[in-house]
Structure 1
Amino acid sequence: MSFAQNEWLEQESTNFKIIYRSSHSHLVPQLFKSAEEALEVLSRIFNYTPSEKIIINTYDAYDYGYGAATSVPQNFIRLEIEPMEPGYETIPYSERFQWIISHELVHIVVNDHSSNVESFARSIFSKVVPEQIQPLTIIYSLMTNYNRYTPRWHQEAIAVFWETWMNGGYGRTLGSFDEMYFRSLFVESNEFPTENEIDTKLSHNSFLLETIFYIYGSRFASFLSLKYGPEKLVSWFRTEPDEFFKNFESKFEDIFGVDMEDEWIEFVKFEKDFQSTNIKKLRTAPLTDTKRISTENFGWVTQPYLDKSGDNIYFGFHRSHQLAEIQKFNLRYRLSTEVASLPTPSMLQVSSTAFDKNLGLFFYTTNNNQLYRDLWVLDVDKNEKKLLFKDCRVGSLTISPSTHELLGIEHSASSAALVYSLYPFNKLETLVQFEVGEEFQQLSISPSGKFLAAVLHQSSGEQKIILLDMDLVKTGQKVKYEVLYNSGSPENISWSMDEQYIFWNAYTSGVSNIYRLNINSLRVDVLTHTLRGLFRPLCVTQDSIFAFEFTSSGFVPVMIANQPASQVPAISYLGQLILDKYPELMENNLSTETAPFEQLKILPEKKYSGLNSLSIQTFIPVISGFQKQKVIGFYGHIADPVLTHDLNFEIGYSPFKENPLGPKFHVKLKYDFKKQFEIGLDHNATDFYDLFNKRKRGMIGTKLRLGHTHYWIYDNPLKVKQQTEVALYRSIQFINDNLTKVSQPDFMVAQTIFDLKNQRRSIGSSDFEFGNDFTTTFMLFASDPNNPELAYQIWTEFGDFSTWLFKHNVLYFKVAAGYHEPNLNLAQSRFYFGGFGNREVENVDVKQYRKVFRFPGIPIYELGADKFIKLMLENNFPPIRTSGLSIRRHYLNHIDFSIYSQGLVLKSDQGNYFADIGAQVNFVFKHWDNLENTLSAGIAKAWSDTKADWEWFISLKLLKN
C-alpha cells in the first residue's frame, strides 16, 4: 500500500505504536525490535509494566539525529532518524536507533512508574500537563506524575547508566569525553559545582550547555553504583506501590542512609582522588610541550585551515558569552580577527566547514542545530558571502585546493550519501549512497585531490579512519576503502601539504592525543602525551603542528612539535571499575542482530487517523474566576499524539451570589488543526486569574473566532509568520480588561499580523541580544450589518537588539507608529495607551512595558488616540545567577533587571506629548525543578505637556511561556 509522502502511517506491536512517514517505513522492523527488547530488559530491572502503549514518532526534520521522551500526557518518544552529530566521543554509541531508544525508554520507565496513589489519580484525571491557561493543572500534574519533577541531571543519570550497559558498553558511563572533563577540572584546580549550581549557573554559562546535566548526572550515578552497587542505584529511581509522593532527596536518604548533600561532597572527594591517581599514571612519562599561542578560550571549534601565506589559520568557534563566528588567527602576531558571524551553530561541530586556500573561499553551513543545513561560501579577501545551496542537508565538507572539488555528506531519510560539486559550485551531485548504519563523517581530501580520507562509524560501535581512491569513488560503484586506524574513536583528519602524512586525534590511551600516519609505510606514530587532550591537528610546517587543547571551559589553540612521543601511559575509566566489580551488568546487553519481520508480531501498516487516535489527556475539576464571580467547572484537553487535532475547553457554572445579575453559565473552547487552523468559542469565558486580580479579563458576551497561522519563512534565526483571525462578538459591553466601553454590542473584527523576527543570543544570556523584530498589524472593525459601520487601524513596530558596555548588557531600541480611521460609532476601534499591563497574578510575558500600547506611569488604557508615534530605549542588565537561595526543591534561578524610557506623540484630551522613565526587576524561581514562576516589580514616572504621574506594581507570573 502506498500513501502520500506527507501523510502519517502507523503500526503497532505488543507494547509500542510507531507513527512515521512512508519514507521511514524501512526502519520500522528495527525500531520495533530495539524497543521491545529494551523494554523487556528495563521492565525486569525496574519491575515495571507499561500503563499504555508507548508511542514512537519518527521525524526527519533536522540533519542530526536525537531522541526526546516524555511521560505526560502519554508515553511518547520523538525520534529524529538522521545520523547523530559526531565529535569528541561525547556520545559513544553502537547501533544508533537501539542506543537512542534504550536511553529514552529509561526516561519513560522511570517517570511512568507509579505508586498506588498515583495510579488511582491517573485513572480519574489522566496524566496531566501543567498549562498556563489553567494553573490548577500543576497540582494535578504533581498528583499523577510525581517522578517527572526532579532535576535534569537526576533524570539523565539513570538513563546514561543503563544506555551504556544495554549497548555493550557503548555509552557515556564508559566515555572518554567525561573522563577528560573531570580530569581537566582537577588539573585546573577548578571547584566542582553543588548539585543546585549545575542548573542555576553551570548549564547557563558553560559552553557545554545542557550536556552538563548528562556529565554530572552520569558521574554521580557511577559513583553511587561503585560504592553501593547497581541495585541500590536502581532502587533510588524505582517507584514502589506503597510510596506516597516521596521526593528524590528523601528517597535518597532512605535508600543510601545518608543525606544527599553530604554524599555529593563525598562524590567530589572521590572524583578528585580518582583523577589524581590517573594524573599520576600520566606523569610517569614525559609530557609533550604544548605551547599555548593564545590566552583566549574559544569554546567549541571547527576544523582549522592554513591560508596560502602560511601565516593565518581560519576556523569557526562558539564560546560562552559571544555569538559564534568565523575568525582569522595570525600565527606570527597571535591576533584574532573576526571574519564573519556564524548563525545557528550546532553543539559539537559548530558548523561544517572547508577552505580552498588557493581561491580564498571559506565554505560553511548554517541551520546546524535545527532544520535543514544551508551551504554558504565566503570570499575571505573580499569579505563577500553567497548562499550556494539552500536546504541541501550537506555537512562534513572538504575541498581540494588543486582541483577545487567540494565534497560533503548529505543526510536524508536516515541514511547518508557522498556528494560533490565542481567549481563554480552550481549544483550538487550524488556519488555514493550509503546503507543505514554506515555513517561516513569528517571527510578530508588530499591536497592533490587524489585520495579521500574519512571517519567511518559503524553499527558495531567501531569507528575507524579509512582511505579511498577518488578516481574509483567518482565511478559511483560500491565504495572500497582501506582501514588506516580503528582505535580510540579516531577523528578530525588532516593532510600534510606534501601528501605524505595524515594526522588525527584519538583516545587510544584514554586521553586524546595526536597521531600521524606515513602514507607510504602505513606506520602510525603517536606524537603527543598530554594531561587534558588535544584535537583537530593541522600541519603548519614540517616541524610544527597546530592543534586545540581541551579545557573545562573550551578549546585553546596550541603548537606542538611534529615528532613522536617517547611513551604514552593509559588512564583508568570509572566505568571500567564498575564493570570489573559488577560484570553481570553486561548481561543486559541487547542483541544487535535484526530479527525477522514476522517474529516481531507487528500489526499491518495502516494510515494514521488523528480522529481515531484522540485521547483524553486532561479532565479535571477546577475553580476559575469571572470578573467578581467564582466559577466551578471542568477543564479538559483532548488531542492525538501528533497534534493533528488539539482541543482544550473549560466549562463552568457560577453557583455563588457575588453578582446576582451576572451570567451563570461559562464556556471557553479552542480547537487547533495541525497547529495551523484555529476555532475558538468564548461565552462568558472564565479566566482563572480573575480570582486574584483587580483588573478582570472575563468578558460578558460571546466571541466566535476563526484563525490561521502561516510561516512564510522558517529558517533560523529568521522567521516570518502571518497570523490571520476573524472574530464575531455578540452582546459585548466592555473590552480591554473591562475598562473600555464599546459603542455597539455586536461587531466583527478581522485582523492580520505580519511578524518578522531575526534574533540571536549567546551562551549565558536570559533574553535575545542581537537582531531585529518587525511587526505590522491591520485590523478591520465592522458593526451589525443591519446598521453597518466600518473602521480600520494599522500600526507597525520595529525593534533592534544589540549589546554594549559589557557582556549580556543589552540595548533594545523600538519605534512604532499607527493610524486609525476615526469612527465615533466604533469606539472599540481606537488605540488605547497606558499602564504597565502586569496584573497581580499573570500568565503573559513579564516585560509588558515593551508592548506598543503600554505606557507605564499613565493609568492603563487612559489615553485614547487615532494616530501615534512611539519610541522606546531599554537597557537590560546581565542576568544575576544565584545558587544559595533555596528551600527544598524551590529556588531562585536568576534575576533580571532593566531600565527604560519611552516617548509618545499623539492627540488626546490629556495632552499630545508624553515621556516616561521606568525600571523593572524579575526574580525567576524554579519549583520542583521543572516549573518556573516569575515575581516582578516595577516603577515608572510619566510626564506630559499637561501633567505628571507615576505608578508601580508587583506581579507573580505562573509558569513559563
Structure 2
Amino acid sequence: MSIKKIILTGFLVLGFLLPGKAQKLQSYETPTQKLIYIQNSASYLVPHTARSFENAMQFHRRLWNYTPSESTAILFNDFTDYGNGGTMVIPWNMLNISVAPFDHSFGVIPSTERMQWLMEHELTHQVMCDQAARQDVFYRKILGGKVLPQAEMPLSMLYSYLTTPRWYSPRWYHEGIAVFMETWMSGGIGRVLGGYDEMVFRTMVHDSAYFYRPVGLQSEGTTIDFQVGVNAYLYGTRFISYLTKNYGTEKLLDFYRRDSKSKRFFSRQFKSVYNASLSEKWESWIAEEKANQQTILKRIAEHPVSQGRAITQNPLGSTGKAYYNAEKNLLYVPVNYPGKLAYIAAIDLATGAMHKIAPVVSPKLYSVTSMAWDKSSGNLFINNKNNDWRGLERITISTGKRKQLIRFTRTGDMVINPVDQSIWGIQTTNGRTALVRIPEPYNKIETLYTLEYTLTLFNLDISPDGKYLSATLAEVDGMEKLVLFNLSELLKGQHNYTVLFDFEDKGCSDFVFDAEGKYLYGTSYYTGVSNVFRIRVPDGDFQCITNALTGYFRPVPVNNDSLIAFRYTTGGMMPELLSAVPLENVNDIKWLGQDVYEANQEVVNWVLPPVSHVNMDSVTFKESTYHPFTQLKLASVYPILEGYKNLVGWGYHIHFMDRLAIHSLQLSASWSPYSFLPENERLHLALKWNFWKWSVLATWNKANFYDLFGPTKVSRKGYSLIASYHNYIRFHKPLTIDYKISGGMYGGLERMPGYQNITASSSELYLLMGNLHISHLRKSLGAVEPEQGFDWNVYVSGIYASNNLYPQLFTSLDAGVLLPLRNTSFWLRNAAGVSLHNDAGNSFNNYYFGGFGNNFIDYQAIGRYRNIESFPGLEINEAAGNHFIKTMGELNLRPLYFKEAGFIWLYVTYARLSLLGGGLYTMHNNWQNTGIYYNAGAQLDFDIVLFSLLKSTLSLGAARAWRPDHSSGNEFMISLKLL
C-alpha cells in the first residue's frame, strides 16, 4: 500500500538498469492494464498474470459497480526472494507484483495460486481508493488528476484528499477488506479462515492482553510488539469479519462503497451505514471476541492441556528454526524481539541463560533467518539479506565470527546432510522453487529439482543417516502434504517422492527428524489449533503430541520422551520443554470465518472462475518496449502559495510523470504582486526534472512556501541551474554505498546559496561537488529511526567565482550503539572540513554554523540539529571559519507510545526525547582558531497523524551555546514538520 515503497522499487531496483543496457523494460498492454516487466526467465508468467488481473477486475467491476479512472500499470518483477504485492492509486493506478513464492511461516499466508491471489487482494485496494463520487470526479478534473501529496508543496495534501479521499483511511480499514475479499474470492482459502489469525486473538484472551481501539491500533498497536505492522491486517480482518457475521455483506459493501450517496471520510460513512459510531461497534466486537474465545478455550481444555516447562524467562519474539546440541545442552535459535537487534542465541536448557553468538543484520519478520547447523564442524550457516536476494554466511559458534561464502544464493530452508556436510535448501528464482545442494567448500550451487510453477517446496529436513529428505509440498489449491524424497535418487536426477501425510488445507509446518530417524515432528492446524504432531517414517502413522490452548511451533526433538517447542504468546514465541508422549484425544475448534460463511452463504458466489476461463483472444493487446522517457503525461496541476523575502506569492504547480515514477517533470510558477519589489524579482520559476539517476533543477528568483514560516530561508534572488547524477554502488541493506555528483551555476546572487545571512562575494559562480556516502544502519522492533551503526559522508566541492577557484573538502561520520535500555541509543556525530584557498575573508572559502535550523512549519528532517551547518544555541550562520572540527553526543530515549491520544482523524502516535551536547572549533587558513563553542540542549518530538496517512511531527527544542569567554546564547525552537 505504501506510495514510498513502490516508488522506491521503481527508482532503486529498476534504477540499476540504465537505458541502453541489454535488459530493457517490456510492456504487455491491453485496454485495462499495462504490465511492465524485464525480459527474463519469469516472462512465461506474463500471460497468466494478465489473465489473473482480468479475472479479478471483471469480478470487482460487477460487485462494486466500479469503473477504473484509467488502466492499471503493473510492475511485474523478481527482485525479492518472497512474493508480495503493493498498490498505489495516486497519481495513477499501479500494482507492484513480485513473482516469488510466499513465505509460509506459521501458516500466516495460505498456499494458493499466487498471481490470482495477489490480484484479488491488490485490486481490492485499488477499487476502495480509486472509486469516485461525483465530487471526487469534479476535483480530479479541475486539478488535472489524483494529486500526489508532496511535502514541498503542502497544499497538495489538501488536493490529494479532495481527489482520493478513501486513500486517507487507516491501514486496518484497507487490509481488512482486502483480506476478506481475497479469502472468499479464493473459495475460502485465506486469512479469514486462517488458523494463525484465530490463534492471535485466542491468545490475547488467554493472556488477558489489551485489545487496541482504532486510534491506539494505529499508534502503539502497529509498532510496539514483535508483529509490528501485521496487527493492522489482524485487527482489520477480524473486525470486518465480525461486521459481516452480524450485519451481513450488503452493509459491508455499503460501508466500503464510494458513490454520490456516501460520506467522504471513512468513519462518517461507517456511522451512516451502521447507525452507530465506529468506536461503539469496535467495543461490541471486542466483547463478542472475548466471549467467543473463552468458549473455545474451555472446549480445548475439555481434554488435558499440555503443560511445558518454560526454558527462558521471557518470550523471544520471532524465532527461526532451532537446533538442540545434546552434548552441551544448548539450543541454537535466531531471535528477534522488540528493543534488541536480531541475533543468533545459544540458550542453556538448564538455566535459561541466553548467549549471543552473532547478529542477524537483516531479519525477516516471522522466521528471522534460515539457519542450518553442522554438528561435525560446530558451524552455523545462515542467510543474509533476508528481505532481498539472500546470500550465505558461515558462523563459527565459539567465536561468533561471520564469513560470507556466496553473495547471492536466493536459497533458504537450509539443512545440513550429516553424511557429507553439504547444504541442501530451496532456491527461489523466476517464480519457481528448486531443490539445490551446496557442497563443501560452499562456493557453488547444484540444482537438483526445479518444480513447476504450480508447486512449492519448503520446510526441509534430512534424516540422521542422510538417506531421506522431508519437505512440505504445497499446491495451488491450498493443499499441503508432507513428502519424503530419497537423497540418492535425487542425486541421480530422479524426483519421485512418497506422501507421508496429506494435511489438506490445515497447514504442514517445520517437520524435523528425531535422532533415530524414526519419526518426523512438526505442527499443523489440523484441529484448528497449531499442535505438534508425530508421523512415523515411512508408513505415515499420525499421532498428536500436544493439546495447546494457544499454539505450538518449530518442535525440536530432545529424546524419545521429550521435545522442545515454541508456544505462541502475545509477546512472541516462548520455548518450552514438553512431553513427547502421544495424546489420546484433542478437540477441534470452530473459526470465526466458518460463522461468517454460515451467516452469509452468498459469498460462495464470489469465488472466481479458473483463470483458464478468461478469454484473452478477444482482447486487443500490444507488446512493446517500455521507454520511460517518452511516457510523460500530466499527473496534476494546482494552485500554490510560495514565500519570497517574507512576501506571499500566488501561482501554479504542474506535475508530469510516467507510470513508474522513473521519469518526472515539475514546473512551479508564482508571482509576487508587490510594487515595492523590483519588477525583475516578482516572477518566480522552478523546473525540476528527474530521469533514472539524473536530475536537473533550474530556478529564477527561487521561492519556497516554508520561507513564510522562518527562520530558515531558502528563497534567493537570481537564477540557478544544477544537474546531478546519483547512483548506488551497493544497495543491500543494512549496507548501502552510493555517490552523487552535482554541477551547475548561479547568477544574480545577493546571498550565498547555502547560507542565508551571508552576502555572496560574487553575484555569479560555478559549482562542482562530489559526495561518497557509506551507511550501515540497523534498528530493532519498536524503533522510530536507526539505533546502531554508522553513516559516513565525504564531500569534495569547488566554487569558481571572480576568476578564482575555492576548493573545499569536508566529511561527517555518525556512529551509534543501541543501549541496554529498550529502544534507547547513543550517537557520536562528528564532522570536519578544510578550505584550500588562501583568501580567508571570502564567503566562498568559509563554513558557517548556527541554529537548530527548523522552521515553524517545515518539511525537512526533524533532526536538523544533526546537520553539519547546524549548532543549536547560536544564531543561523553566526559562527564561521575556513576550517572546522565539530562533534556532538546525542542520547535518544525510548519513544513513549500512546494508546489513545486523539481522534479517528487526528492522533499522536508517540513522543521521543533527545538530549544533545557538543563542541565546535573553527580556524583561519593559518590554523589559528577563530572560535570555540560549546552547546547543550534537548528536542522533544511528537509524531502526529492526520487522516491516517499524513504523518507530521511537532518538535520542541531548547539549547544553550557558550564560549570560553562566558558569552552565551539561548535558542528555543518549535516546528511542525509536514509529511
Q: Which of 709, 714, 735 is the equivalent residue of 2:731?
A: 714
The equivalent of 1:269 in structure 2 is: 287
1:142-221 matched pairs, under 5 angstroms: 142-221=161-240
* Whole-Å separation in 2 of the counterparts to 1:271 and 1:392: 44
Letter in 1 for 2:222: S
1:240 aligns with 2:259: yes
1:678 aligns with 2:695: yes
Q: Which of 526, 537, 550 is the equivalent residue of 1:532?
A: 550
TM-superposed deviation, 1:420? 0.6
1:21-32 matched pairs, under 5 angstroms: 21-23=38-40, 24-32=42-50
Task: Count matched residues.
Answer: 952
1:386 aligns with 2:397: no
* Whole-Å separation in 2 of the counterparts to 1:613 and 1:124: 22
The equivalent of 1:52 in structure 2 is: 70
* Whole-Å separation in 1 of the counterparts to 2:194 and 2:903: 35
- What secondary structure, in the 3-state scheme, does the structure 1 residue paired with 2:770 have? strand
* Whole-Å separation in 1 of the counterparts to 2:519 and 2:527: 21
* CA distances 1:561-607 after superposition (whole Å, capped 9, x unpaired): 11111211011110001111211202111123434775362513111
* Whole-Å separation in 2 of the counterparts to 1:520 and 1:411: 28
- The answer to whether the 8 Å contact 2:105/2:367 transfers is yes
1:134 aligns with 2:150: no
Which stretch shows the higher mean deviation, 53-62 or 178-187? 53-62
1:661-700 matched pairs, under 5 angstroms: 663-674=681-692, 676-700=693-717
Aligned residues with identical type, % of pairs? 28
1:77 aligns with 2:95: yes
The equivalent of 2:642 in structure 1 is: 624
TM-superposed deviation, 1:479? 4.4
- The answer to whether the 8 Å contact 1:64/1:85 transfers is yes
1:429-508 matched pairs, under 5 angstroms: 429-487=446-504, 488-508=506-526
* Whole-Å separation in 2 of the counterparts to 1:887 and 1:188: 28
1:105 aligns with 2:120: no
- The answer to whether the 8 Å contact 2:104/2:111 transfers is no
The equivalent of 2:17 in structure 1 is: none
- The answer to whether the 8 Å contact 1:344/1:716 transfers is yes
TM-superposed deviation, 1:662? 5.7
Which stretch shows the higher mean deviation, 14-23 or 266-275? 14-23
TM-superposed deviation, 1:461? 1.1
* CA distances 1:821-841 after superposition (whole Å, capped 9, x unpaired): 235384223111111111222
Letter in 2 for 1:813: L
Letter in 2 for 1:703: S
- What secondary structure, in the 3-state scheme, does the structure 2 residue paired with 1:381 have? coil
- The answer to whether the 8 Å contact 1:5/1:21 transfers is no
What's the TM-score once normalised by structure 1's chain length? Answer: 0.97
1:740 aligns with 2:740: no
* CA distances 1:19-39 after superposition (whole Å, capped 9, x unpaired): 111123211221121111111
Letter in 2 for 1:868: F
- The answer to whether the 8 Å contact 1:883/1:892 transfers is no
Letter in 2 for 1:732: L
Which stretch shows the higher mean deviation, 221-230 or 806-815? 806-815
1:286-685 matched pairs, under 5 angstroms: 286-307=304-325, 309=327, 311-369=329-387, 371-487=388-504, 488-595=506-613, 598-599=616-617, 601-657=619-675, 659-660=677-678, 663-674=681-692, 676-685=693-702
The equivalent of 1:833 in structure 2 is: 849
The equivalent of 1:902 in structure 2 is: 918
Q: Which has the higher contact order (CA 8 A, sep 6+)?
A: 2
- The answer to whether the 8 Å contact 1:754/1:775 transfers is yes
- The answer to whether the 8 Å contact 1:501/1:516 transfers is yes
Gaps of 5+ in 1: none
- What secondary structure, in the 3-state scheme, does the structure 2 residue paired with 1:68 have? strand
Q: Which of 861, 869, 880 is the equivalent residue of 2:885?
A: 869
TM-superposed deviation, 1:677? 1.0
- The answer to whether the 8 Å contact 1:345/1:351 transfers is yes
* Whole-Å separation in 1 of the counterparts to 2:758 and 2:475: 67
- The answer to whether the 8 Å contact 1:935/1:954 transfers is no
Which stretch shows the higher mean deviation, 440-449 or 642-651? 642-651
* Whole-Å separation in 1 of the counterparts to 2:756 and 2:923: 23
The equivalent of 1:957 in structure 2 is: 976
Which stretch shows the higher mean deviation, 656-665 or 568-577? 656-665
* CA distances 1:722-774 after superposition (whole Å, capped 9, x unpaired): 11101211111102453111111111111111111111011111121111111
TM-superposed deviation, 1:660? 4.2
1:776 aligns with 2:794: yes
1:65 aligns with 2:83: yes
* Whole-Å separation in 1 of the counterparts to 2:649 and 2:819: 50
The equivalent of 1:934 in structure 2 is: 953
- What secondary structure, in the 3-state scheme, does the structure 2 residue paired with 1:734 have? coil
Letter in 1 for 2:822: K
- What secondary structure, in the 3-state scheme, does the structure 2 residue paired with 1:586 have? helix
TM-superposed deviation, 1:280? 1.7
Q: Which of 22, 32, 36 is the equivalent residue of 1:15?
A: 32
- The answer to whether the 8 Å contact 1:86/1:348 transfers is no
1:814 aligns with 2:829: yes
* Whole-Å separation in 1 of the counterparts to 2:372 and 2:516: 19
- The answer to whether the 8 Å contact 2:959/2:972 transfers is no
Q: Which of 223, 227, 230 is the equivalent residue of 2:242?
A: 223
1:32-51 matched pairs, under 5 angstroms: 32-51=50-69
1:743-754 matched pairs, under 5 angstroms: 743-754=761-772
- What secondary structure, in the 3-state scheme, does the structure 2 residue paired with 1:700 have? strand
TM-superposed deviation, 1:658? 5.5
* Whole-Å separation in 1 of the counterparts to 2:97 and 2:618: 20
Q: Which of 851, 854, 860 is the equivalent residue of 2:876?
A: 860
1:879 aligns with 2:895: yes
1:87 aligns with 2:102: no
TM-superposed deviation, 1:440? 0.8
* Whole-Å separation in 2 of the counterparts to 1:681 and 1:4: 29
- What secondary structure, in the 3-state scheme, does the structure 2 residue paired with 1:185 have? helix
Gaps of 5+ in 2: 1-19
- What secondary structure, in the 3-state scheme, does the structure 2 residue paired with 1:594 have? helix
Which stretch shows the higher mean deviation, 283-292 or 159-168? 283-292
Letter in 2 for 1:530: A
RMSD, matched Cα? 1.7
- The answer to whether the 8 Å contact 1:397/1:408 transfers is yes
TM-superposed deviation, 1:391? 1.6
* Whole-Å separation in 2 of the counterparts to 1:953 and 1:476: 73
Which stretch shows the higher mean deviation, 589-598 or 373-382? 589-598
TM-superposed deviation, 1:936? 1.3
TM-superposed deviation, 1:701? 0.9
The equivalent of 2:299 in structure 1 is: 281
- The answer to whether the 8 Å contact 2:651/2:671 transfers is yes
* CA distances 1:505-531 after superposition (whole Å, capped 9, x unpaired): 000000011111111442111111111
- What secondary structure, in the 3-state scheme, does the structure 2 residue paired with 1:278 have? helix
- What secondary structure, in the 3-state scheme, does the structure 2 residue paired with 1:205 have? coil
Letter in 2 for 1:556: M
* CA distances 1:631-663 after superposition (whole Å, capped 9, x unpaired): 222112211112331112212222233524561
* Whole-Å separation in 2 of the counterparts to 1:501 and 1:805: 42
Which stretch shows the higher mean deviation, 808-817 or 95-104? 808-817
What's the TM-score once normalised by structure 2's chain length? Answer: 0.95
Q: Structure 1's 288 and 884: CA in aligned 2 closer, same or farther, altered over 3 A?
A: closer
* Whole-Å separation in 2 of the counterparts to 1:54 and 1:274: 42
* Whole-Å separation in 1 of the counterparts to 2:838 and 2:151: 37
* CA distances 1:765-814 after superposition (whole Å, capped 9, x unpaired): 11211111111111111125xxx101111112111111335112211112
TM-superposed deviation, 1:628? 2.8
